[in-house]
Chain A
Amino acid sequence: MKVEPDQKVRINVKVNGVLHEAEVEPRKLLVDFLRDDLGLTGTKVGCDTTTCGACTILLDGRSVKSCTLLAVQAHGREITTIEGLSSDSKLSPVQEAFKDNFALQCGFCTAGMIVQATFLLSQKKDMTEEEIRDSIHGNICRCTGYQNIVNAIMDASRRMKA
């Protein structure tokens, strides 16, 4: 696959189970592709510098910061965004746990936090509080002070085991 600087490139990406074919400039960021081209605005842009984690999505099942990937890097791969976690307006266990534990205030970090928590729980069901705190340090929250977020992730882990 070769694309000139002033050309667009055809990409195939499966997003939340739906195959999308699109033409993008090679320089297009993945987060802009999701938000502007596909209208999936649940994923947020907080810092645009790989720091805050608001733009976290799953790429082939692993969490990544979509402000620091090109859309073309996702060609041929599978993406899950916050919109893909719930089905038929039924919230996922992590989403339920965030709601029930008051783990959000302004909500700007929430999509990224929930996607990150979903990834962490897919890797390891039993995490200590320490492990949870360590593995969400790429997600910044300016409101909650993190305690309820950590509680929610522990709660979600209990729900998923039940």
Chain B
Amino acid sequence: MVRIPFKRLFLIIKMYPPQVGYFRPESLGEALEFLEREEAKVLAGGQSLIPMLKLRVLRPKYLVDIGGLKELSYIKEGDTISIGATTRHFELASRRIRGLEILQEAASKVGDVQVRNVGTIGGSVCNADPAADYPAVLTALDATMKVRSKKGTREVKAHDFFKGPFSVDLNPGEVLEEIRIPRLEGYRQTYRKVVRRAGDFALAGLALAIKLDSGVVKDVRIAFTGVSQGPHRAKEAEKVLRDSKLTKDVIKRASEASTSGANPPSDSRGSSWYRLEVMKRLLQTSLEVMANES
């Protein structure tokens, strides 16, 4: 018989985060100052961080709580849309932005109502779960991340920012301040995801933006989530579609091409093969809808 020590048993029943210090800055400047000096982790909504603390995947000395910083919570509209890092999912889910309709659609599919009430876009982006929803959207739309530290500001393209599962281009002391997304006016946009159970992370998700002129594809952006180490931009499929009409044959070839370079995991939610099939179907049916509408 395996004997579980009493203390271990207790941990299994109820999970507590490890001992940790806490800092609540009054401004972003104060947060950057603190992060420069101390071994600390940013806390935004906590919807990914607190579960990780409970599992002891992370053991920072301090948490720097930027969740209440008003200066980081905003949506500014211009030719580019600028979104503050601590803007909450529900705020994005309840705002239709012209030329960026896809963001509302993606935000309203994150987790559940309670998670959307607390979780932030910056937190989701920095957490970089390989099945998260925003990274695919930001990759498809060539968004730019504005990163701040005490030393200064730098900008990173989405394509370079997402480095792998739970890994982004952020150095110690750096905070994601803002996400900038170009406004794609005149594009049809859609974000769709397939889940096994309500509230699950995506088995596969598709971000699609397409510009048609008399039925001919002028521009198209396709990125998937859940099918690789990070967001998967389907360049091959884009190539098939560009300057073509959305005929049955073109759609079929684009869907087949979309899996080129994808490397989906096999896990309890679905096999790698199944995820590839879901990808093709997602793209095919989305394109069919758009072809019928035009």
Contacts and interface: CB of A to CB of B under 8 A. Distances in A.
A and B found bound together: yes
A73 B67 contact: yes
A75 B199 CA distance: 29
Interface residues of B, number: 34
Contacts, number: 102
Nearest to B38: A2
B46 A25 contact: no
Contacts of A49: 15, 51, 54
B118 to A, nearest CB: 5
B20 A26 contact: yes
B17 interface: yes
B114 A69 contact: no
A27 interface: yes
B115 A137 contact: no
Interface stretch (A3-11, A13-21, A92-100): A3-11
B115 A4 contact: no
Given A69-B118, A138-B199, A27 B23 contact: no
Interface stretch (A59-67, A82-90, A102-110): A59-67
A68 B61 contact: no
21 contacts: A2-B22, A2-B24, A3-B21, A5-B21, A5-B61, A6-B19, A25-B19, A26-B22, A27-B19, A27-B20, A29-B16, A49-B54, A50-B51, A51-B199, A63-B114, A65-B114, A68-B46, A68-B50, A70-B50, A72-B22, A138-B113
Interface of A: 1-7, 9, 25-27, 29, 45, 48-51, 53, 56, 59, 62-65, 68-70, 72-73, 75, 116, 119-120, 134-138
